Amino acid sequence: MLPEPDNRAARLRGRPDSTRFHPPALPLSESPAPPPAQHLLLPHASAMGEPAAAALKALRLPNLEALLAQLAPARQDDGDEYSRTPPHERRLAQLYGWQGEDGRWPFAAHHAAGDGLPGSDQGAWALVTPVHWHVGSDQISLLDPALLNLGEAESRALLEIVRPSFEEVGWRVHWGAPLRWYAQHEGFAGMEAASLERAIGRNLDLWISDHPAARTVRRLQVEAQMLWHGHAVNDAREARRELPVNSFWLSGCGAAQPARPPTGLRVDDRLRAPLLAGEWEAWVAAWAELDAGPIAELRAAADRGEALQLTLCGERHARSWQTAPRGLLQRWFGPKRHDALPVLTEL
């Protein structure tokens, strides 16, 4: 049996802001190689803490171990668990060809373009996510917004309630999807903001920005809480035992930049939900699905001699491997298996 979910916020509580690591925008260099026909990137491939360590030991990943034995290290992106941008977002930003730094990658403008919003290639944007803040005895934490089951009509109604407050401070507000609202303002160009996935399940004191513009965000969060409290939308949600929407999270700030993702890039995020929820048995099961599916396919491509790349992202670091020429012994006897546990533990 795997251990019960841990309180991951407790591990992060109380670390001074001054000790946060800010990774370089473009760390280390990549080994030269032909462009991969396939590049599989896996967020949340590992985590820290005793329950995560026990889950890692329960993994059985024969295809991953066989694949790693055929590949060579290509790139490493080092950070720590206190960076505002998690490793998979840093790696994606680099693959897109963006310029930026920790907490300042323009994912909001990128998602706005994906939602078909006009002008998404101009100006500075922020992603506004409607959320539920859980107030505990000693901290405030943020629940995964996916658990809200927020419908389009509810989402649009809640946005219209706070729109006057947002526009009063100069934000131009757009609706993109039930959990994706957007704001445009020149102040977002240089504003540092923690990724939503850093904040989920953790003490929010660690992740609320100390940027001067963040004071406006905090005031608007308080206003939103008051405007939404007791509103018919939330009353109806609570009547059917759904969590009320009582705040929002701002992330993905930055001036729009063109994204140039490499051909063949695939991001599989099935590990996200169980890891953020601390549901370790489900996380182990999701890893088994990955090993039997996309990773097995990548292994078969490697056996055929195709150029490919694999990137595994944990809570601190991202590591990439790519196709390497086989030695004579490997061609005769095949590669030895590469133990996955140390690789994943170090992420």
According to the model, what pLDDT value does residue 138 have?
84
**How many domains would you assign to the chain?**
2
> Hey, what long-range contacts does 284-287 have (CB within 8 A, 24 or more apart)?
284/2, 284/55, 284/58, 284/59, 287/59, 287/61
201 and 59 fall within a common domain: no
According to the model, what pLDDT value does residue 210 have?
78
192 and 291 fall within a common domain: no
According to the model, what pLDDT value does residue 290 have?
98
Listed residues 259, 275, 300: the one ending a domain:
259
Q: Which of 46, 8, 7, 54 is nearest to 281 (CA)?
A: 54
Residue 93 lies in a domain: no
Residue 289 lies in a domain: yes
More confident residue, 20 or 100: 100
According to the model, what pLDDT value does residue 71 have?
95
Listed residues 215, 237, 259: the one ending a domain:
259
More confident residue, 329 or 269: 269
Tell me the residue type at 239.
A
Give the pLDDT band (50/70/90) at residue 8: very low
Residue 79 lies in a domain: yes
Listed residues 229, 259, 289: the one ending a domain:
259
Average pLDDT over residues 42-50: 97
125 and 64 fall within a common domain: no
Residue 331 lies in a domain: yes
197 and 240 fall within a common domain: yes
User: Which of 128-132, 142-146, 213-217 has the lowest average pLDDT?
Assistant: 213-217
230 and 294 fall within a common domain: no
According to the model, what pLDDT value does residue 15 have?
39
Q: Is 205 left (phi over 0), alpha (psi -120 to 50) or beta?
A: alpha
115 and 253 fall within a common domain: yes
Helix (H) or strand (E) run with residue 240 in it: none
Q: What is the pTM of this model?
A: 0.86
Residue 150 lies in a domain: yes
120 and 161 fall within a common domain: yes
More confident residue, 11 or 218: 218
Task: Work out the percent of the chain whose per-residue pLDDT is above 90.
Answer: 80
- SS3 of 227, please? helix
172 and 277 fall within a common domain: no
271: domain range? 24-86+262-347
Task: Please say if the pLDDT value at position 24 is more than 60.
Answer: no
279 and 173 fall within a common domain: no
According to the model, what pLDDT value does residue 23 have?
38
Task: Please say if the pLDDT value at position 140 is more than 80.
Answer: yes
287 and 221 fall within a common domain: no
Pairing type for strands 38-42 and 308-313 reads: parallel
Q: Which residues does 240 contact at the CB level (< 8 Å), separation at least 6? A: none
Average pLDDT over residues 178-185: 98
Residue 287 lies in a domain: yes
User: Which of 12-21, 198-207, 269-278 has the lowest average pLDDT?
Assistant: 12-21
68 and 107 fall within a common domain: no
Task: Work out the percent of the chain whose per-residue pLDDT is above 70.
Answer: 86
327 and 346 fall within a common domain: yes
Residue 17 lies in a domain: no
Give the pLDDT band (50/70/90) at residue 327: low
**Angle of helix 294-303 versus helix 280-292 axis, rounded to 10:** 30
Give the pLDDT band (50/70/90) at residue 338: confident
Q: Which residues does 300 contact at the CB level (< 8 Å), separation at least 6? A: none
Residue 15 lies in a domain: no
Tokens of 102: 């920790």
